[in-house]
Structure 1
Amino acid sequence: MTTDYKVKLEIFEGPLDLLLYLIKRDELDIYDISIERITRQYLEYLQAFKELNIDVAGEFIVMAANLLYIKSRSLLPVDQQPPEEEAEEDDPRWELIRQLIEYKKFKEAAAQLHDRAVEQENIFVRGEISTSESVRPLLLGEVGIFQLINAFQNVIKRVEAREELQQIFGENYTVSDKIEVILARVSEGGALKFSELFAEMASRVEIVVTFLALLELIRLKQVRAMQPGQFGEIEIAAGA
């Protein structure tokens, strides 16, 4: 969530992720939180800029949905609440914090790859190509963060267009688990098309966590993201 956007309520003013953290710590009562007011403020915030920031909007939807889920659970009769021994494991507030951490890791990994891409572009610009013989045919080229993020956003859009995004509540996806899945798939079947990696997924959280795992594997050089030609589909292969 961007640092520019802040929630403004009678009992709280600050970033939405901080609001969720305070709710998790029981320092704020979910009964006192107006989901409708938070949503209205956010829409006004977007309108003021007259642009929809896809990344920020996606995070807001996830966190606002979780807020709504917490509030709906708080209204359930006591006899419909989960057993006490399952409370901590199933508590959606823990899930909120986990998702925030995942988003934070995703942004950090993306920022690192972006910096590397900029460095590579600078090196390329400063280089000199003296003759046409120096130009090599474009075959499999390393993919930069911009291509990866663009491909990732296309996956989200395709799933949303099919109206297949499922509720995120109760899901338990981790980066480490998805790392194992990706490594197993590239080891068994060789190069894997980017779209195939997400083909069976209909959950925003699973898609985001899987993409984060992919970024981590690329950072560790355990897999490579390659593109066959300028307009070819990105492929994922085992690292060199």
Structure 2
Amino acid sequence: GSDLDEELALWEERDLLLARLLECKTFKDAAQSLQVLSAEASRSYPRTSGIEESFIGLLPDLFANVDGNDLRNAFMRATAPKPVIRVATDHIAPISFSVGDAVNELSIDLPERGRVSFRQITAQLVDRIEVVVYFLAILELYKQDLLDITQISSFGNIEVEWIADEQGAAAMDLIDSYEG
């Protein structure tokens, strides 16, 4: 019964602690390796001299076939105004769903649903941008202490639960607005 549940909970906490310790050790080892590489790199010096004198006669004359017009043309190309690069955004669909809209929907829906996973909340969504908007809305609601978020492990399932009394328009007044 409950003794087994308590024991399993203790083992689960132990496993989580061991996983975190392993992550910590991994990052500590990586930091130590980077420190060693940095120390080795600080002892090296770049070559600062040019070509040795005995090899200068072997170099081809770089200006053998260059006349005044060639120099003028090279100068004109180097100093000509660069074309303004325009990134075409015509193919990007306009965002028709805002974080505010998602907050409004979530503040109505979540109090009725109880604890629910992020996957369940976004199951009906098709576009990735909509999932991102819902995620930002959940973070806004969490920031305002209107809901609780639980995630047992890195990249694990995200559980969301409404914990506030406020709903709808009251939640909308609290959020920060995002501009594209």
Structure number having the greater helix percentage: 1
Rg (Cα) greater in structure: 2
TM bucket normalised to smaller: 0.3 to 0.5
> Could you tell me the TM-score, scaled by structure 1's length?
0.30
> Could you tell me the TM-score, scaled by structure 2's length?
0.39
Larger relative contact order, structure 1 or 2 (CA cutoff 8 Å, min sep 6): 2
